[in-house]
Amino acid sequence: MELALVIGVVVIALVFDYTNGFHDAANAIATSVSTRALTPRLALLMAAVMNFIGAHLGTSVASTVGKGIIAPPDGRHGLIIVGAALIGAIVWNLITWYFGLPSSSSHALIGGLIGSALAATESVKWGGVVEKVVIPMVLSPVVGFFLGALIMIAILWIFRKANPHKAGKGFRYAQTVSAAGMALGHGLQDAQKTMGVIFLALVVGGYVPQNSDIPEWVITASALAISLGTYAGGWRIMRTLGRRIIHLDPPQGFAAEAAAAGVLYTAAIGFGAPISTTHTITSAIMGVGATKRLSAVRWGIAGNIVTAWVLTIPAAAVVAAIGYFILNLILG
């Protein structure tokens, strides 16, 4: 029975990974597609490949998710807690995808873990949540906003005498590189979160020791699932990021992607912090747009997005708690 539960949790985790991919595909390519630097299908293929590569570049974020958020018990009860957490994250991903809101799959997963653990009256590592989730959650959009604005100001200054047509064409090529960098950062961040949950399920199920390395098959399966999800594309959210916040031109798209990718790499490699790629790229787009004029950013839409950000952890936690009670009733 426990083996079946472990397999079930792994499958649900990979489903979450897939929904993460199509939910967050817009993070990497929305700006490139909206500026016509890349065709949608080519952009999705490039993002899928770079997601797969990025997933193999480290496991520090996976360790944070797998070891630093909750401490479920071993055995069947622990597996139910992890499974319910994943269900909460998947449901919230699908709700926000349906309404075209670029919420955070990362924070949906964190919220799911917290909600499921609290419903089961198991311990949550609040110190780790504050240090690795809450502080980066607040800082990363702020850094993304101002870094995007600074890069855009630098571009405007450096290319102030350049021919606009030639500069725009050059930045379309540059966006291919920045979009690839963004997709690589997305794989480095988001695929690792699924690795962490699968690792947690294997530890709880007694199949790997707590202090062991993440198995290679877990890394490859997570990378493949998020890549396939990315290639499936999330067009609803892509329209929000690419057009509805601000109409981007190629230099603006490059600045936003470069800023967001820099924040993702720093958080993952430097701190092992599971930050939201969605928050980071959205805030970078806002920062870039604000350099043109504050009114260029559609702040009403931005406000709706921020509301979704604030609701994500508690909403996913509530759904996960409900999922826990149902699963526990059936399998407990």
**What are 102-130's pLDDT values in tens digits?**
678 888 999 999 999 999 999 899 988 89
Question: The whole model's pTM is what?
Answer: 0.84
Residues paired with residue 124 on neighbouring β-strands, in sequence order: 70
pLDDT on residue 299: 64
* Start-end of H helices in 120-191: 126-129, 135-158, 164-186
Give the C-alpha distances (Å, rounded to integers) separating 14 from 30, 312, 326, 327.
Answer: 24, 20, 21, 19
> In terms of C-beta distances under 8 Å and separation of at least 24 residues, what long-range contacts does 208-213 make, across chains too?
210/67, 213/59
Task: Report the alpha-carbon distance of residue 175 to residue 33 in Å, rounded.
Answer: 10
Report in angstroms the alpha-carbon separations of 225 from 15, 110, 151, 157, 308.
Answer: 8, 19, 33, 42, 25
Residue 295 neighbours by CB distance under 10 Å: 9
Regions in the chain scoring below 50 on pLDDT: 242, 244
**CA-to-CA distance for 17 and 61, rounded, in angstroms?**
15
Q: Model confidence over 197-255: pLDDT tens digits? A: 999 999 998 888 888 888 999 999 999 998 898 887 655 555 555 454 556 788 888 89
Q: Rounded to 10 degrees, what is the CA torsion of 298, 299, 301, 307?
A: 170
The pLDDT score that the predictor gives to residue 242 is 46
Those residues whose C-beta lies under 8 Å from the C-beta of residue 313, and which sit 6 or more positions away, are: 107, 108, 110, 111, 114
Q: How many residues are recorded in the chain?
A: 332
Residue 120: strand, helix, or coil: coil
pLDDT at 40: 76
Q: Contact at 8 Å (CB) between 91 and 16?
A: no
